[in-house]
Amino acid sequence: MRTLITALFWGCLVSLSWAAEPLASWHEGTTKAAIVKFVERVCEANSAEFVPPSERIAVFDNDGTLWCEQPMYVQLAFALDRVKAMAADHPEWKSEEPFKSVLNDDFAGIAAAGKAGLLKIIAVTHAGMTNDQFESLATQWLATAKHPRFKRSYTECVYQPMLELLDYLRANHFKTYIVSGGGIEMIRVFSSETYGIPPEQVVGSSIKLVYERRDGQPALVRQPEVDFIDDKEGKPVGIQKFIGRRPVIAVGNSDGDFEMLEYTTSGQGPRLGIILHHTDAEREYAYDRSSHFGRLDKALTEAKQRNWLIVDMQVDWDSVFPR
Amino acid sequence: MRTLITALFWGCLVSLSWAAEPLASWHEGTTKAAIVKFVERVCEANSAEFVPPSERIAVFDNDGTLWCEQPMYVQLAFALDRVKAMAADHPEWKSEEPFKSVLNDDFAGIAAAGKAGLLKIIAVTHAGMTNDQFESLATQWLATAKHPRFKRSYTECVYQPMLELLDYLRANHFKTYIVSGGGIEMIRVFSSETYGIPPEQVVGSSIKLVYERRDGQPALVRQPEVDFIDDKEGKPVGIQKFIGRRPVIAVGNSDGDFEMLEYTTSGQGPRLGIILHHTDAEREYAYDRSSHFGRLDKALTEAKQRNWLIVDMQVDWDSVFPR
């Protein structure tokens, strides 16, 4: 009896594995093989490099790693659209920078306003409201906005091979996290549905929140003040703050991920660093050392000596976006 | 065949439930009944108040809620012991406050040094080292230090009924979090083993971390500067930052938990606020409105009108600490 049940049980499992071939959109080559080999090394119970499930943490950058970051960060597109949507209530913006440039689609003007200009844009579009109100605005925008080149929603401009990598890692009992320079609350509104990553597994940049009463109800109100920048040397800090463990796998695509990759792969025991190299101008974009968004320079130069795995989008991916 | 397997499967589950009677150390009374009734209301699939597992978040304060906070916060005992252990390298402390008072066990003197004095103690005992070094110090201390009255380690001065409540909630697919005013890294060193709560489900106060090189290796170095105070109105902020969802259940024991309870129970749908009232001078301690540590005043006054459940330690708990 027991044998029969065991057979049925394993039969079930085997059918499941067949049903969902892991990493189906990855080309059968050395990159895919290296990923699979690493996961097998740390997950096989009798492996010398076995990592217990509780310690299997995998962190993924978002912009340019899980979804498209060209021709500009999605969150910047959201902020610019919000300025336009709010402009009717702010006639003074017609002559006030950086808003004037935003309303005129003058990107050189926006760039000229620099960091101070960007903070002004963030202050009016991301603060001065409750967190729930911000969530609604971001959700509504994501439901309707389209990528200018691909003419599909931004949440459909995610990378199919990365969705499969997330699934594959979770099937192997990894806990998957986003560790992004982008705003944490913006990512949370779509990460569950799009990536299968719940809000509590999103680490990102944030502005200050204050707990106060609004219309007689307690609310978290967003302040026009930066709380935490989860980028570059902020990424290992964010990982420790939010996760409290050094990851086993880190996946990024730009120099903003350098410290996260360095911190992850300098830990003892088996560690894997992965860099997505955007090499596919036809299906997506080709950019690295001189890109304004997602510059990949130092991390690309040092990848080999640090044993980081480089994913060549054009070569390694059979498809880029979900069909 | 299928019927037989199904029967065996459910048979297994039933035996498991019998094997581990939930909330065994809770007295069979109205408090236990109210907790069980609430959990059944939100977990039964055909209940009007069903909450999907992904949204089942339960947050617990730590000091005085999960472990004993008298005669002083455990972390303060750690800091004072650290000052004594470090004193040989700091002869100047013999005449310098607040260290002089610490070395003389002069609690009035420590109190007189106020917040500035406490920050000095934290700076020398909690900062100026890597996070890994701090973890080692805290782990070693917890392994040897004893509670002055109960003569057992601090991690054995946790509340058995609360351990059972954590287990019961997890068995019902709640994700359990600590949301503490105490230092996040101190709690993380014992929370997995003691509470079954992994590091990534601990929210707490923190000092600033900086990512830099130490002995040629990247490290997170603890700075003598407060980053975040996860207490009072900081608790809902910490919950949103780290978890990104409003909890369904919040458990606390002091006015430091007021805003966490208020935020949790003012959400839409079923919510449960629980306050542990320390009423048992014989088995533990009896304190509330005038206690220096864990003062419970406003939250006790407002509990009834807010429908928060009060756990009376003396009445509701058959045992207090693990045997």
Residues B285-317: tens digit of each pLDDT? 999 999 999 999 999 999 999 999 999 999 999
- CB contact, 8 Å: A118 with chain B? no
DSSP for A191-205 reads: HHHHHS--GGGEEEE
What's residue A21's pLDDT? 85
Q: Identify the pLDDT of residue B20.
A: 63
Amino acid at A255: D
**Which of A5, A240, A271, A306 to substitute to test the interface with B, most B CBs within 10 Å?**
A240
Alpha helices, DSSP H only, in chain B?
2-19, 30-43, 74-86, 99-103, 107-112, 114-126, 131-144, 160-171, 184-195, 234-242, 258-265, 298-302, 313-316
The pLDDT of residue A17: 43
Task: For residue B67, give the DSSP letter.
Answer: B
The C-alpha angle A242, A243, A248, rounded to 5 degrees, equals: 145
* Cβ atoms A246, A263 nearer than 8 A: yes
pLDDT computed for residue B4 by the predictor: 47
Q: Tell me the residue length of chain B.
A: 323
pLDDT at residue B63 greater than cutoff 80: yes
Q: State which amino acid sits at residue B122.
A: I
Q: Report CB contact under 8 Å: A243, B199.
A: yes
Calpha distance B253→A89 (Å, rounded): 47
Question: What does the pLDDT read at residue B299?
Answer: 98
**Residues on chain A touching B218 (C-beta within 8 angstroms):** 236, 259, 262-263, 266
Weakly modelled stretches of chain A, pLDDT under 50: 1-4, 6-19
β-bridge partners, B221? B130, B210
Determine which of A308-322, B28-42, B103-117, B186-200 has the lowest per-residue pLDDT on average: B103-117
Q: Is A243 on the interface with B (CB under 8 A)?
A: yes
In residues, how long is chain A?
323
Rounded CA-CA distance B76/B93 in Å is: 18
Q: What is the predicted pLDDT for the residue at A34?
A: 98
What's the CA gap between A186 and B165, in Å, rounded? 34
Contact B87, B307 (CB under 8 A): no
Q: Average of pLDDT values for B20-26? A: 90
Dihedral angle of Cα A306, A312, A317, A322, to the nearest 10 degrees: 90
B243 touches chain A (CB under 8 A): yes
Residue B199 contacts A where some CB pair is shorter than 8 Å: yes
State chain B's mean pLDDT as an integer: 94
Closest to A181 (Cα-Cα) out of A40, A293, A53: A293
pLDDT of A244:
98
Give chain A positions within 8 Å (CB) of B237. 209-211, 220
> pLDDT value at position B19?
46
Within 8 A by CB and 6+ apart from A262, the residues are: A236, A306, B218
> Which of residues B8 and B64 earns the better pLDDT score?
B64
Given this model, what pLDDT does residue A1 score?
A: 44
The domains of chain A, with CATH numbers, are: 22-70+158-316 (3.40.50.1000), 74-144 (no CATH)
- B182 closest CA partner among B142, B133, B130: B142
* Contact: A209, B237; criterion CB under 8 Å: yes
Residue B8: list chain A partners with CB under 8 A: 5
Tens-place pLDDT, residues A252-261:
999 999 999 9
- Does the distance separating the beta carbons of A211 and B236 come in below 8 Å? yes
B76 touches chain A (CB under 8 A): no
Q: H or E element: which one contains A81?
A: helix A74-86
**CB contact, 8 Å: B218 with chain A?**
yes
Rounded Cα gap, residues A49 and A38, in angstroms: 10
pLDDT at res. A175: 98
Rounded CA-CA distance B129/B136 in Å is 11
- By C-alpha distance, the chain B residue nearest A213 is B263
Which pairing describes strands A272-279 and A286-287: parallel, antiparallel, or unpaired? antiparallel
Question: What 3-state DSSP class applies to B292?
Answer: coil
Backbone region of residue B294 per phi and psi (left: phi > 0; alpha: psi in -120 to 50; beta: other values)? left
**pLDDT of res. A7:** 47
For residue A274, give the nearest of A38, A2, A7 by alpha carbon.
A38
Q: How confident is the model at residue B14 (pLDDT cuts 50, 70, 90)?
A: very low
Distance CA B226, CA A222 (A): 21
Has the ipTM of the complex gone over 0.90?
Answer: yes
The pTM (predicted TM-score) of the whole model is: 0.93
Q: Is residue B220 predicted with pLDDT exceeding 80?
A: yes
Q: Say yes or no to pLDDT of B84 above 90.
A: yes
Confidence label for B215 from pLDDT (cuts 50, 70 and 90):
confident
CA atoms of A256 and A294, how far apart (whole Å): 8
Q: Chain B within 8 Å of A69 (Cβ-Cβ)? A: no
Residue B196: closest C-alpha in chain A: A54
Q: Are strands A272-279 and A249-252 parallel, antiparallel or unpaired?
A: parallel
Is there a contact between B287 and B303 (Cβ–Cβ < 8 Å)? no
> Which chain B residues are closer than 8 Å to A200 by Cβ?
57, 175, 242-245
**Is the minimum CB–CB distance between A271 and chain B shorter than 8 Å?**
no
CA distance A284 to chain B (A): 32
B237 Cα to chain A: minimum distance (Å): 6
